[in-house]
Amino acid sequence: MIRSERSKFIINELEELYPKTSVPLNHNNEFELLIAVLLSAQCTDERVNKVTPILFKKAKNPNDMAQLEVETIYSIIRPCGLAPKKSKAISELSQILINDYNGVVPRSFEQLEKLPGVGHKTASVVMAQAFGTPAFPVDTHIHRLAQRWGLTNGKNVSQTESDLKKIFPKNLWNKLHLQIIFYGREYCTARGCDGTICKICRTCFPKRRKPFKAQKA
């Protein structure tokens, strides 16, 4: 298969497996989504979803969050890892949202990426899932799968994101990034598939015999 054939097959396969893509991080508003995505860095969605109900019961908007002590936030989000840095970022960005954005989560990549603890990937998730703006958030899992499937030879997530945006139609980006994540968790895991086992890997590269080693992001 050439790359365009692989991409079409991947789209069809993922659409058949995951016709509906619900956001894996539980939230009730844009602010809660922003906080949940920030917490998900180097942490599983499952763990984040156990922590956020406790946090959001105390503060579901920037005004309430800014009134919490950083130590209080830390004590709640500690299971997520990197808690000292994340708790400080949550407190600071809440105050910035109040001071600069009237307590509203901004709707631009540039403004989001200026917030403490919010990088490009976090901003992309918020833009895609909260505001429906076309984005292709790439984490280490998508980076790994994109290499296995011959969609990129990028050495980092930035290059992989750029390559995927060129390959896939823009109107599919928001859904595809979730579909790839779901497939990676279920069928093409880091340990369960070495590039020769799952259906997409076998179909895209039927002659591949040796395990494929993806470059880390």
Task: Read off the CATH number of the domain in which 14 is found.
Answer: 1.10.1670.10
Q: Would you state the pLDDT for residue 141? A: 87
Q: Would you state the pLDDT for residue 178? A: 96
- Rounded distance, CA 158 to CA 151, Å? 14
Instruction: Specify if 124 maps to a domain.
Output: yes
R_g over Cα of the chain: 18
- Is 187 found in the same domain as 148? yes
* Structure letter (DSSP) for residue 212: P
- Which of 113, 129, 145 is the last residue before a domain boundary? 129
Q: Report helix, strand or coil for 122.
A: helix
Residue-level pLDDT, tens digit, the chain, 217 residues: 899 999 999 999 999 999 999 999 999 999 999 999 999 998 999 999 999 999 999 999 999 999 999 999 999 999 998 999 999 999 999 999 999 999 999 999 999 999 999 999 999 999 999 999 999 999 888 999 999 999 999 789 999 999 999 999 999 999 999 999 999 999 999 889 999 999 999 999 999 999 998 888 7
* Selected catalytic residue, list 86, 139, 163, 175: 139
- Rounded distance, CA 187 to CA 35, Å? 28
- Which of 129, 153, 185 is the last residue before a domain boundary? 129
Q: Would you state the pLDDT for residue 46? A: 95
Contact 28, 105 (CB under 8 A): no
Q: Would you state the pLDDT for residue 193? A: 94
The Cβ of residue 201 has, within 10 Å, a number of other Cβ atoms equal to 21
- Is 79 found in the same domain as 42? yes
* Selected catalytic residue, list 85, 100, 121, 216: 121
Instruction: Specify if 12 maps to a domain.
Output: yes
Q: Report helix, strand or coil for 187.
A: coil
Residue 139 among the catalytic residues? yes
- Which of 79, 109, 129 is the last residue before a domain boundary? 129
Q: Would you state the pLDDT for residue 86? A: 98
* Structure letter (DSSP) for residue 3: H
Instruction: Specify if 180 maps to a domain.
Output: yes
Number of domains in the chain: 2
Cα dihedral sign for 86, 88, 91, 95?
negative
Task: Give the structural domain span for 45.
Answer: 30-129
